[in-house]
Structure 1
Amino acid sequence: MEENAQNQIKPGTLLISEPFLQDENFVRSVVLLCENSKGGSFGLVLNKLSILKVSELIDRLSFLDSDVYVGGPVEQNTFHFIYFGERMLDGSVPLGNNLWWGGDFSQLEQKIINSEVDLEYVRFFIGYSGWSEGQLEEEIAEKTWIHTPCTETESIFKASPEELWRIILKNMGGEYQIMANYPIDPRLN
């Protein structure tokens, strides 16, 4: 079972937290899995805004009012990014469906300064979500995470952070469409 789960969970997969997960770092979160190997896994929470703007973190981009998301609870002193479209940076990792993780940040800075980037399709993060060897597969087996391929890539940039979790579950259909309407605390229903 564990090996089968490892084979199914590849970079570009979305991890959707189960409806009643109470971990404050991952309540109603959607995580984009960027790396999954025998050594562990790395992902970025797509729908948790920080209070920061890029202009506050990157000197060369002091004019850029773009939001920064909390990629996860690990190493929140690190900066990451994803983008949608054609590959535009050296070192970018393909995640499928024209979605890219990272790359040469100085190239990205220069493209932003030169107005060569559609910022609607770039997302910035501080920190990341990480799992040790076998931990993610264990959490999936425990049904902490629902996983699905990221097929509607463009929509992860268009949906509001508050609605992304619900939208993805609804688009998955069936039982997941029902889960999308679960209240955060069923006692309040």
Structure 2
Amino acid sequence: MVVTSLRDTGERGFLDGQFLIAMPGLQDGNFVRSVIYVCAHSPAGAMGFIINRAQPISFVDLLLHLELMEKDEIATLPETARRVPVLMGGPVETGRGFVLHTEDYVSDSSIPMNDDISLTATLDIVRAISEGRGPQRATMLLGYAGWGPGQLELELANNGWLNCPAVDDLIFDTALDSKYDRALALMGITPEALSPDAGHA
């Protein structure tokens, strides 16, 4: 997995476990008003997930598409599974699924992000959620955001992003429309206070 290869460099980056919050000047359509949770950052590059952009499909749709459940079984699906949001994690490998979740679910393929959050990218966790054996909180993400060596640092220097320590509750919060403003509020900033122009001393 990409996150593993980035973390295996032995040197962690300062953005590991941080939120990236898009600045107004960032005009890339994939990232306008986006909040990204950075899972791995090292000299080899960075990987993260957009946590405030919905997919037009539900977790139930996903189960049916993956043939993990038949239509006549939907009624038996636990309510916790029905509520799992499916988000657009980023523009890279959009057909690939990842689950950010609380640490109460562990499999051989789970990668701890911090003491409270893990990342799992196998069908086992999707199946476990559908059977009521999954984590207490989870978010399904299709695709991810990725940067090559030095690329994200350059974008930061060019005033593309703000960064601050990630807050677990915001990662799992399903009120997506207000998540950008609330991420800025973590830094004591309002959207109106941001300038799209970079300042250079």
Give the TM bin, normalised by the shorter chain: 0.7 to 0.9
Contact 1:52-1:67 within 8 A present in 2 as well: no
In structure 2, give the amino acid aligned to 1:157. Answer: F
In structure 2, give the amino acid aligned to 1:147. Answer: N
Which structure has the highest strand share of the two?
1
Q: In the alignment, which residue of structure 2 is the partner of 1:3?
A: none
1:106-143 per-position Cα deviation (integer Å, ceiling 9, x unaligned): 1x134224312356x21111111111111011111111
Q: Which runs of 5+ in 2 are unaligned?
A: 1-11, 75-80, 197-201
Q: Distance in 1 between matches of 2:177 and 2:138?
A: 18
Q: What does residue range 68-87 of structure 1 map to in structure 2 within 5 Å?
A: 68-87=86-105
Q: In the alignment, which residue of structure 1 is the partner of 2:68?
A: 60
Q: Distance in 2 between matches of 1:53 and 1:31?
A: 21
Q: Give SS of 1:148's match.
A: strand
Q: 1:45 aligns with which of 46, 50, 53?
A: 50
Q: Distance in 2 between matches of 1:7 and 1:78?
A: 25
Aligned length: 172
Q: In the alignment, which residue of structure 2 is the partner of 1:138?
A: 154
Taking structure 1 as the reference length, the TM-score comes to 0.79
Q: Which runs of 5+ in 1 are unaligned?
A: 1-5
Matched, 1:109 2:126: yes
In structure 2, give the amino acid aligned to 1:167. Answer: R
Q: What does residue range 1-189 of structure 1 map to in structure 2 within 5 Å?
A: 7-10=13-16, 12-57=17-62, 58-61=66-69, 63=74, 65=82, 66-102=84-120, 104-106=122-124, 108-117=125-134, 121-150=137-166, 152-173=167-188, 177-178=189-190, 180-181=191-192
Q: Distance in 2 between matches of 1:61 and 1:149?
A: 38
Q: CA deviation at 1:102?
A: 1.6
Taking structure 2 as the reference length, the TM-score comes to 0.74
Contact 1:92-1:101 within 8 A present in 2 as well: yes
Q: CA deviation at 1:55?
A: 2.8
Contact 2:20-2:35 within 8 A present in 1 as well: yes
In structure 2, give the amino acid aligned to 1:13. Answer: Q
Q: CA deviation at 1:78?
A: 1.1
Give the root-mean-square deviation of aligned CA atoms.
2.5
